[in-house]
Amino acid sequence: MMVSEINIKLTILGQWGVGKTSIVNSFIGKDFPAMYIPTIGSNIARKEYKLTSNHVRINIWDIGGQRSFNPLNPVFFSNLDSALLVFDLNNPKETLQEILKTYIKNLAQYSPECITYLIGNKSDLIKPENSEILLNNIRQYQIEGFPIIFVSAKIQDNISEAFSLVVFNFLKKIENESREKQFIGISKRFLQFIDKSEEDLEHLIINLEEIDPNNLHNKITPTIIKKNVKAVESEVIPLREINDLTKTQEFDVDKSLIKENIINAFKNNLSIISDLISDLKKAPIDSLISNIDKCLEDLSNLKKDFELKLDSILELESSKQKS
Protein backbone atom coordinates (compact mmCIF):
# COMPACT_ATOMS: atom_id res chain seq x y z
CA MET A 1 0.00 0.00 0.00
CA MET A 2 1.28 3.45 -0.93
CA VAL A 3 1.87 5.66 2.09
CA SER A 4 1.66 9.35 1.34
CA GLU A 5 3.45 11.94 3.40
CA ILE A 6 1.80 15.09 4.66
CA ASN A 7 4.07 17.85 5.89
CA ILE A 8 2.78 20.60 8.12
CA LYS A 9 4.90 23.69 8.56
CA LEU A 10 4.17 25.24 11.92
CA THR A 11 5.88 28.25 13.41
CA ILE A 12 5.83 29.02 17.06
CA LEU A 13 6.07 32.73 17.73
CA GLY A 14 5.97 35.07 20.67
CA GLN A 15 7.97 37.41 22.81
CA TRP A 16 11.23 36.23 24.37
CA GLY A 17 10.81 34.20 27.55
CA VAL A 18 7.20 33.11 27.03
CA GLY A 19 8.28 29.47 26.82
CA LYS A 20 8.18 28.69 23.10
CA THR A 21 11.18 26.37 23.22
CA SER A 22 9.88 24.72 26.39
CA ILE A 23 6.57 24.02 24.66
CA VAL A 24 8.37 22.42 21.71
CA ASN A 25 10.68 20.47 23.99
CA SER A 26 7.78 19.28 26.05
CA PHE A 27 5.96 18.19 22.89
CA ILE A 28 8.89 16.21 21.48
CA GLY A 29 9.74 14.69 24.87
CA LYS A 30 12.77 16.71 25.91
CA ASP A 31 13.35 17.72 29.52
CA PHE A 32 12.16 21.05 30.83
CA PRO A 33 15.24 23.31 31.06
CA ALA A 34 16.54 24.22 34.49
CA MET A 35 17.13 27.81 33.43
CA TYR A 36 16.13 30.27 30.74
CA ILE A 37 18.35 30.05 27.69
CA PRO A 38 17.38 32.29 24.78
CA THR A 39 16.79 30.69 21.41
CA ILE A 40 19.19 32.09 18.85
CA GLY A 41 17.55 32.28 15.43
CA SER A 42 15.32 29.34 14.74
CA ASN A 43 15.37 25.75 15.85
CA ILE A 44 13.46 23.14 13.99
CA ALA A 45 11.82 20.11 15.54
CA ARG A 46 9.89 17.32 13.91
CA LYS A 47 7.21 14.97 15.04
CA GLU A 48 5.58 12.29 12.97
CA TYR A 49 2.23 10.58 13.26
CA LYS A 50 2.29 7.33 11.33
CA LEU A 51 -1.27 6.68 10.29
CA THR A 52 -2.00 3.54 8.29
CA SER A 53 -2.09 5.15 4.88
CA ASN A 54 -0.54 8.54 5.62
CA HIS A 55 2.44 9.79 7.53
CA VAL A 56 1.70 13.20 8.99
CA ARG A 57 4.85 15.11 9.77
CA ILE A 58 4.78 18.33 11.71
CA ASN A 59 7.82 20.57 11.20
CA ILE A 60 7.97 23.04 14.04
CA TRP A 61 10.00 26.19 13.55
CA ASP A 62 10.76 27.59 16.97
CA ILE A 63 11.71 31.23 16.41
CA GLY A 64 13.82 33.01 19.01
CA GLY A 65 11.81 35.90 20.45
CA GLN A 66 14.70 38.24 21.17
CA ARG A 67 14.26 41.37 19.08
CA SER A 68 17.98 41.47 18.44
CA PHE A 69 17.70 38.10 16.68
CA ASN A 70 15.11 39.53 14.26
CA PRO A 71 12.12 37.25 14.86
CA LEU A 72 10.07 39.46 12.55
CA ASN A 73 12.02 38.49 9.48
CA PRO A 74 9.39 37.79 6.77
CA VAL A 75 11.02 34.44 6.07
CA PHE A 76 9.62 33.17 9.38
CA PHE A 77 6.08 34.05 8.33
CA SER A 78 5.84 32.82 4.76
CA ASN A 79 4.36 29.54 3.56
CA LEU A 80 3.07 28.58 6.99
CA ASP A 81 0.37 25.96 7.45
CA SER A 82 -0.06 26.83 11.07
CA ALA A 83 1.20 29.19 13.74
CA LEU A 84 1.12 29.13 17.50
CA LEU A 85 1.28 32.59 19.03
CA VAL A 86 2.52 32.11 22.55
CA PHE A 87 2.00 34.53 25.41
CA ASP A 88 2.84 34.34 29.07
CA LEU A 89 -0.17 33.87 31.37
CA ASN A 90 1.82 35.56 34.11
CA ASN A 91 2.65 38.53 31.94
CA PRO A 92 -0.32 38.70 29.55
CA LYS A 93 -0.29 42.46 29.03
CA GLU A 94 3.17 42.78 27.60
CA THR A 95 3.33 39.46 25.78
CA LEU A 96 -0.12 39.79 24.19
CA GLN A 97 0.64 43.34 23.16
CA GLU A 98 3.71 42.06 21.34
CA ILE A 99 1.61 39.47 19.52
CA LEU A 100 -1.02 42.00 18.55
CA LYS A 101 1.50 44.61 17.51
CA THR A 102 3.79 42.53 15.39
CA TYR A 103 3.19 38.85 14.86
CA ILE A 104 -0.48 38.96 13.86
CA LYS A 105 0.22 41.69 11.34
CA ASN A 106 3.02 39.71 9.74
CA LEU A 107 1.00 36.51 9.67
CA ALA A 108 -1.89 38.28 7.98
CA GLN A 109 0.52 39.63 5.39
CA TYR A 110 2.60 36.57 4.58
CA SER A 111 0.44 33.55 5.50
CA PRO A 112 -3.16 34.76 5.74
CA GLU A 113 -4.65 31.29 5.54
CA CYS A 114 -2.59 29.56 8.16
CA ILE A 115 -4.31 27.91 11.13
CA THR A 116 -3.45 30.06 14.10
CA TYR A 117 -3.90 29.56 17.83
CA LEU A 118 -3.12 31.77 20.77
CA ILE A 119 -1.30 29.76 23.38
CA GLY A 120 -1.15 31.00 26.95
CA ASN A 121 1.78 29.25 28.57
CA LYS A 122 2.77 28.77 32.24
CA SER A 123 -0.75 27.82 33.38
CA ASP A 124 0.88 26.03 36.32
CA LEU A 125 1.73 29.45 37.79
CA ILE A 126 -1.79 30.90 37.74
CA LYS A 127 -3.24 31.45 41.19
CA PRO A 128 -7.07 31.13 41.63
CA GLU A 129 -7.32 34.66 43.01
CA ASN A 130 -5.73 36.08 39.85
CA SER A 131 -8.05 34.36 37.39
CA GLU A 132 -10.39 37.28 36.90
CA ILE A 133 -7.60 39.79 36.37
CA LEU A 134 -6.00 37.44 33.88
CA LEU A 135 -9.20 36.99 31.87
CA ASN A 136 -9.83 40.70 31.87
CA ASN A 137 -6.32 41.36 30.66
CA ILE A 138 -6.73 38.92 27.83
CA ARG A 139 -10.15 40.32 26.88
CA GLN A 140 -8.69 43.81 26.90
CA TYR A 141 -6.50 43.01 23.91
CA GLN A 142 -9.43 41.73 21.88
CA ILE A 143 -7.50 39.33 19.77
CA GLU A 144 -10.52 38.08 17.94
CA GLY A 145 -10.72 35.14 15.64
CA PHE A 146 -7.91 33.23 17.25
CA PRO A 147 -8.86 30.38 19.56
CA ILE A 148 -7.05 30.47 22.90
CA ILE A 149 -5.55 27.48 24.66
CA PHE A 150 -3.89 27.49 28.06
CA VAL A 151 -0.93 25.14 28.47
CA SER A 152 1.94 24.45 30.78
CA ALA A 153 5.18 23.32 29.20
CA LYS A 154 6.63 22.72 32.64
CA ILE A 155 4.09 20.13 33.72
CA GLN A 156 3.35 19.05 30.14
CA ASP A 157 -0.29 20.02 30.35
CA ASN A 158 -2.34 20.37 27.16
CA ILE A 159 0.84 20.43 25.09
CA SER A 160 0.41 17.38 22.90
CA GLU A 161 -3.33 18.06 22.81
CA ALA A 162 -2.74 21.58 21.47
CA PHE A 163 -0.51 20.25 18.70
CA SER A 164 -3.04 17.50 18.01
CA LEU A 165 -5.71 20.15 17.57
CA VAL A 166 -3.53 21.94 15.04
CA VAL A 167 -2.89 18.74 13.11
CA PHE A 168 -6.57 17.77 13.27
CA ASN A 169 -7.70 21.12 11.88
CA PHE A 170 -5.06 21.03 9.18
CA LEU A 171 -6.14 17.55 8.11
CA LYS A 172 -9.78 18.64 8.14
CA LYS A 173 -8.80 21.56 5.91
CA ILE A 174 -7.03 19.40 3.31
CA GLU A 175 -9.85 16.88 3.51
CA ASN A 176 -12.31 19.61 2.55
CA GLU A 177 -10.12 21.34 0.00
CA SER A 178 -8.62 18.35 -1.77
CA ARG A 179 -10.64 15.83 -3.72
CA GLU A 180 -7.93 13.22 -3.54
CA LYS A 181 -9.14 9.83 -2.40
CA GLN A 182 -6.29 9.38 0.04
CA PHE A 183 -7.44 12.33 2.15
CA ILE A 184 -11.02 11.17 2.62
CA GLY A 185 -11.59 10.51 6.34
CA ILE A 186 -8.02 11.40 7.26
CA SER A 187 -8.99 13.70 10.16
CA LYS A 188 -11.06 10.91 11.71
CA ARG A 189 -8.24 8.43 11.24
CA PHE A 190 -5.99 10.89 13.02
CA LEU A 191 -8.39 11.14 15.97
CA GLN A 192 -8.45 7.35 16.18
CA PHE A 193 -4.67 7.31 16.08
CA ILE A 194 -4.33 9.72 19.02
CA ASP A 195 -7.31 8.13 20.76
CA LYS A 196 -9.21 11.41 21.21
CA SER A 197 -12.54 12.74 20.06
CA GLU A 198 -13.09 16.05 18.32
CA GLU A 199 -14.86 17.25 21.47
CA ASP A 200 -11.80 16.38 23.60
CA LEU A 201 -9.71 18.65 21.42
CA GLU A 202 -12.25 21.45 21.09
CA HIS A 203 -12.61 21.39 24.86
CA LEU A 204 -9.09 22.84 25.09
CA ILE A 205 -10.28 26.15 23.68
CA ILE A 206 -11.09 28.80 26.23
CA ASN A 207 -14.26 30.74 25.43
CA LEU A 208 -13.52 34.18 26.86
CA GLU A 209 -17.12 35.32 26.60
CA GLU A 210 -18.62 32.46 28.49
CA ILE A 211 -16.05 31.33 30.97
CA ASP A 212 -16.63 32.06 34.63
CA PRO A 213 -13.43 33.28 36.34
CA ASN A 214 -14.28 31.06 39.29
CA ASN A 215 -14.19 28.04 37.01
CA LEU A 216 -11.09 29.03 35.11
CA HIS A 217 -8.69 27.59 37.62
CA ASN A 218 -10.54 24.30 37.67
CA LYS A 219 -10.55 24.18 33.89
CA ILE A 220 -6.89 24.82 33.35
CA THR A 221 -5.45 23.01 36.37
CA PRO A 222 -4.46 19.58 35.19
CA THR A 223 -6.27 16.76 36.89
CA ILE A 224 -3.58 14.28 35.96
CA ILE A 225 0.07 15.11 36.36
CA LYS A 226 1.40 13.76 33.15
CA LYS A 227 4.55 11.75 32.47
CA ASN A 228 5.45 11.64 36.17
CA VAL A 229 6.34 15.30 36.18
CA LYS A 230 5.54 16.56 39.62
CA ALA A 231 3.91 19.92 39.98
CA VAL A 232 5.99 21.78 42.47
CA GLU A 233 5.28 24.89 44.41
CA SER A 234 6.46 27.37 41.83
CA GLU A 235 7.45 30.93 42.19
CA VAL A 236 7.63 33.35 39.34
CA ILE A 237 11.22 34.23 38.63
CA PRO A 238 11.31 37.41 36.58
CA LEU A 239 13.23 36.90 33.34
CA ARG A 240 15.42 39.48 31.69
CA GLU A 241 15.76 39.91 27.97
CA ILE A 242 19.22 39.20 26.66
CA ASN A 243 19.73 41.74 23.92
CA ASP A 244 23.43 41.41 23.49
CA LEU A 245 25.31 38.16 23.84
CA THR A 246 28.56 39.99 24.51
CA LYS A 247 27.03 41.24 27.75
CA THR A 248 25.84 37.92 29.13
CA GLN A 249 27.97 38.43 32.22
CA GLU A 250 25.37 41.00 33.30
CA PHE A 251 22.78 38.23 33.35
CA ASP A 252 22.78 35.12 35.42
CA VAL A 253 23.23 32.92 32.37
CA ASP A 254 25.86 30.28 31.83
CA LYS A 255 27.65 31.18 28.59
CA SER A 256 28.87 27.65 27.95
CA LEU A 257 25.29 26.45 28.24
CA ILE A 258 24.16 29.01 25.68
CA LYS A 259 27.00 27.99 23.40
CA GLU A 260 26.17 24.30 23.81
CA ASN A 261 22.55 25.08 23.09
CA ILE A 262 23.42 26.96 19.91
CA ILE A 263 25.73 24.20 18.70
CA ASN A 264 23.09 21.55 19.38
CA ALA A 265 20.51 23.61 17.52
CA PHE A 266 23.00 23.99 14.65
CA LYS A 267 23.49 20.22 14.54
CA ASN A 268 19.76 19.67 14.71
CA ASN A 269 19.09 22.09 11.86
CA LEU A 270 21.80 20.41 9.82
CA SER A 271 19.94 17.12 10.26
CA ILE A 272 16.77 18.87 9.16
CA ILE A 273 18.52 19.84 5.91
CA SER A 274 19.30 16.18 5.32
CA ASP A 275 15.62 15.41 5.81
CA LEU A 276 14.57 18.23 3.47
CA ILE A 277 16.81 16.85 0.74
CA SER A 278 15.53 13.31 1.35
CA ASP A 279 11.96 14.59 1.10
CA LEU A 280 12.81 16.30 -2.15
CA LYS A 281 14.16 13.02 -3.52
CA LYS A 282 10.79 11.43 -2.84
CA ALA A 283 8.73 14.31 -4.25
CA PRO A 284 6.46 13.42 -7.17
CA ILE A 285 7.53 14.77 -10.56
CA ASP A 286 4.43 16.95 -11.08
CA SER A 287 5.09 18.94 -7.91
CA LEU A 288 8.86 18.90 -8.15
CA ILE A 289 9.32 22.55 -9.12
CA SER A 290 7.12 23.85 -6.32
CA ASN A 291 8.85 21.49 -3.90
CA ILE A 292 12.26 22.76 -5.01
CA ASP A 293 11.05 26.34 -4.44
CA LYS A 294 9.76 25.51 -0.96
CA CYS A 295 12.92 23.62 -0.12
CA LEU A 296 15.04 26.50 -1.43
CA GLU A 297 13.14 28.91 0.77
CA ASP A 298 13.67 26.73 3.82
CA LEU A 299 17.35 26.33 2.93
CA SER A 300 17.75 30.10 2.56
CA ASN A 301 16.15 30.60 5.98
CA LEU A 302 18.41 27.97 7.44
CA LYS A 303 21.44 29.60 5.84
CA LYS A 304 20.62 32.87 7.59
CA ASP A 305 19.98 30.95 10.74
CA PHE A 306 23.35 29.18 10.57
CA GLU A 307 25.08 32.52 10.06
CA LEU A 308 23.23 34.02 13.00
CA LYS A 309 24.13 31.06 15.19
CA LEU A 310 27.79 31.25 14.21
CA ASP A 311 27.87 35.01 14.79
CA SER A 312 26.28 34.46 18.19
CA ILE A 313 28.94 31.93 19.15
CA LEU A 314 31.66 34.30 18.02
CA GLU A 315 30.04 37.07 20.06
CA LEU A 316 29.97 34.80 23.08
CA GLU A 317 33.60 33.86 22.54
CA SER A 318 34.64 37.50 22.23
CA SER A 319 32.81 38.33 25.44
CA LYS A 320 34.62 35.43 27.14
CA GLN A 321 37.98 36.79 26.06
CA LYS A 322 37.11 40.29 27.27
CA SER A 323 35.95 39.07 30.64
Partner 1 sequence: MPIPKKDKIEEITLKDFQNLIDQVKNTETEVDFVKKEIILIKSDILSSQERIEQTIRTQEEIIMDMINRFNDELLKHKSTIKEDMEKLKTQQDILRISYTINEKKLMDKVDSAINKSIAKHLDGKESEILMKIWISEFKEIIENFEKLKKLKPKEFSVRLNEISDTIEVYKQKILGA
Where do contacts with partner 1 occur on this chain (CB under 8 A)?
263, 266-267, 270-271, 273-274, 277-278, 280-281, 285, 288-289, 292, 295-296, 299-300, 302-303, 306-307, 309-310, 313-314, 317
Distance CA 64, CA 70 (A): 8
Burial class (CB in 10 A: 0-12, 13-18, 19+), 101: exposed
How near is the Cβ of 301 to partner 1 at its closest, in Å?
10
Closer CB to partner 1, 108 or 263, in the complex = 263
How near is the Cβ of 307 to partner 1 at its closest, in Å?
6
Residues 6+ apart with CB under 8 A from 118: 85, 87, 99, 143, 146, 147, 148, 149
How near is the Cβ of 279 to partner 1 at its closest, in Å?
11
Closer CB to partner 1, 7 or 137, in the complex = 7
Closer CB to partner 1, 142 or 321, in the complex = 321
Closer CB to partner 1, 215 or 271, in the complex = 271
For CA atoms 317, 319, 321, 323, the dihedral sign is negative
Burial class (CB in 10 A: 0-12, 13-18, 19+), 306: middle
Closer CB to partner 1, 192 or 271, in the complex = 271
Distance CA 188, CA 174 (A): 13
How near is the Cβ of 268 to partner 1 at its closest, in Å?
10
Distance CA 137, CA 234 (A): 22
How near is the Cβ of 314 to partner 1 at its closest, in Å?
7
How near is the Cβ of 297 to partner 1 at its closest, in Å?
10
Closer CB to partner 1, 207 or 278, in the complex = 278
Nearest Cα residue to 86 out of 103, 101, 107: 103
